Amino acid sequence: MRPIKILGSLGVVGVLALLGAGCGGSEAIVPARTASAVEADDGEWVENAIPVIEWVRLEPEAPAAGANIQARVRVDDPDGDEIELGFAWKLNGRPARTAGPTLALGNTLKGDTVSVTVTASDGWDESDPVTVQALVGNAPPVLQSIAFDPLGTIHRGQPVSARPIAQDPDGDPVEFEYTWWVNERELSDRSDLLDTTRLRRGDEVRVRVVATDGYSRSNEVMSQPIRVENSPPKIVSAPANAGDGDVYRYHVKAEDPDGDRRLRFRLEEAPPGMTIDPISGELVWTPPASAVGTHSVAVVVDDLQGGVAEQRFSVVIGEEEPEKTETAAAPPAPAAPATP
């Protein structure tokens, strides 16, 4: 008669292929005792086959700090008895408060030692213990966010840079790898700064970033797109110092970074009678005789896309200097006669 099996306080894990037959990881295979004599419930002594731990593996083989490590075990019991496993974990040689097949490495650092000693019991006999260990490996950096400088919108010709934020659980220095995209087209630029001189209004810019600590890489993170907005025009001419005769003339010239050609000019502030051609930018003013003094002028150019530029200056009209009248010098007074 077979003996009655009484399970202890540890939970039943399974038979033969316990916790799965994974591959990789630290592994130990230890020969074990094969049989012993046990007393059955009718008082007879029978032979009991001692469970055999065929192998123990730790997965992953080099766990990262803060991750979980699992002991995967394969046990054989020739009698087909139910098997319970015992796990005794240690961190740097000190017992850990975990009795199951999985250990959380929340307070570990790269290079720490983790080990587990596994035993198998069929309720009557216990296998020889098997111990395996592993080193806590490198933890990859965590990429948290990506921001742009400048924030919000960008304009053609305005450099834009990526500003990623990452943390490394091991405290390792972190570097970043950049891949820029414009309208779903990958660019060859791999720096953190993007030259936008060739972009156009309406283009969408994104950047894909990977953080690395020299050992491991983070997951790739793609930023939200930012849009190239309209760039305002620029007035590139300087006001004229004087006019032709009694007429003041100033040809206002402007350029647009986006290449807009339908620029329109207007006077935001001007003395009475001053005009400007809305298309050519030709400013003309014939000041009246009463226009002596300083006159403020404000010229505005509009690209009709929401962008404007302004130039302010002053025109000074002075009084004519009065003609100088030459005054003849008085003849010298005659000398007094000598006294005898």
pLDDT at 26 over 80: no
Report pLDDT digits (tens) over 30-51.
444 566 655 555 566 778 899 9
Identify the sign of the CA torsion 29, 34, 36, 42.
Answer: positive
| Range in 1-5, 126-130, 203-207, 225-229 with the lowest mean pLDDT | 1-5
Average pLDDT over residues 19-36: 49
Report the percent of the chain where pLDDT is more than 90. 62
pLDDT at 321 over 60: no
Residue type present at position 60: P
Dist. CA 210–CA 218, nearest whole Å: 6
Report pLDDT digits (tens) over 90-100.
999 999 988 89
Specify whether the CB–CB gap between 114 and 126 falls below 8 A.
no
Dist. CA 317–CA 215, nearest whole Å: 74
Q: Does 40 or 322 have the greater pLDDT score?
A: 40
Q: How confident is the model at residue 10 (pLDDT cuts 50, 70, 90)?
A: very low
Q: What pLDDT shows up at residue 240?
A: 80
| Range in 10-24, 193-207, 237-251, 283-297 with the lowest mean pLDDT | 10-24
Q: Does 13 or 260 have the greater pLDDT score?
A: 260
Average pLDDT over residues 304-324: 81
Q: Is the domain covering 234-317 a CATH 3.30.1360.120 domain?
A: no
Dist. CA 291–CA 286, nearest whole Å: 10
Q: What is the mean pLDDT of the chain?
A: 83
Average pLDDT over residues 77-88: 93
The DSSP letter of residue 16 is S
CA atoms within 13 A on the CB side of 65: 17
Residue recorded with tokens 């004229």: 240
Torsion-angle region of 250 (φ positive above 0: left; ψ -120 to 50: alpha; else: beta):
beta
pLDDT at 111 over 50: yes
Q: What pLDDT shows up at residue 242?
A: 60
Q: What pLDDT shows up at residue 164?
A: 96
The CA-based angle 11-14-18, given to 5 degrees, is 110
Q: If we measure between CA atoms, which residue out of 85, 147, 140, 88 comes closest to residue 110?
A: 140
For the domain 142-229, what is the CATH code? 2.60.40.10
Q: What pLDDT shows up at residue 337?
A: 52
Q: What pLDDT shows up at residue 19?
A: 33
pLDDT at 224 over 70: yes
Average pLDDT over residues 189-198: 93
Q: What pLDDT shows up at residue 109?
A: 87
Torsion-angle region of 289 (φ positive above 0: left; ψ -120 to 50: alpha; else: beta):
alpha
Residue type present at position 164: P
Specify whether the CB–CB gap between 211 and 141 falls below 8 A.
yes
Enumerate residues 6+ apart whose C-beta is below 8 A from 157: 196, 197, 231, 257
Report pLDDT digits (tens) over 132-158.
999 999 989 999 999 999 987 899 888
Q: What pLDDT shows up at residue 320?
A: 52
Report the percent of the chain where pLDDT is more than 70. 79
Residue recorded with tokens 């006019």: 243
Q: What pLDDT shows up at residue 246?
A: 83
Identify the sign of the CA torsion 253, 311, 263, 242.
Answer: negative
| pTM for this prediction | 0.60
Q: What pLDDT shows up at residue 16?
A: 28
95's tokens: 């017992």
CATH architecture of 12-135: Sandwich (2.60)
Examine domains 142-229 and 234-317 and report if their fold is the same: yes
Q: What pLDDT shows up at residue 318?
A: 80
Q: If we measure between CA atoms, which residue out of 147, 159, 270, 155 comes closest to residue 207?
A: 147
Q: What pLDDT shows up at residue 317?
A: 86
Dist. CA 293–CA 302, nearest whole Å: 30
Dist. CA 65–CA 250, nearest whole Å: 72
Partners of 315 in the beta sheet? 295
Q: What pLDDT shows up at residue 273?
A: 95
Domain boundaries, the chain: 12-135, 142-229, 234-317
Dist. CA 265–CA 300, nearest whole Å: 6
Measuring CA to CA, how many Å separate 165 from each of 19, 145, 174, 209, 218?
A: 39, 5, 10, 10, 12
Out of 16-20, 78-82, 282-286, the most confident range is 282-286
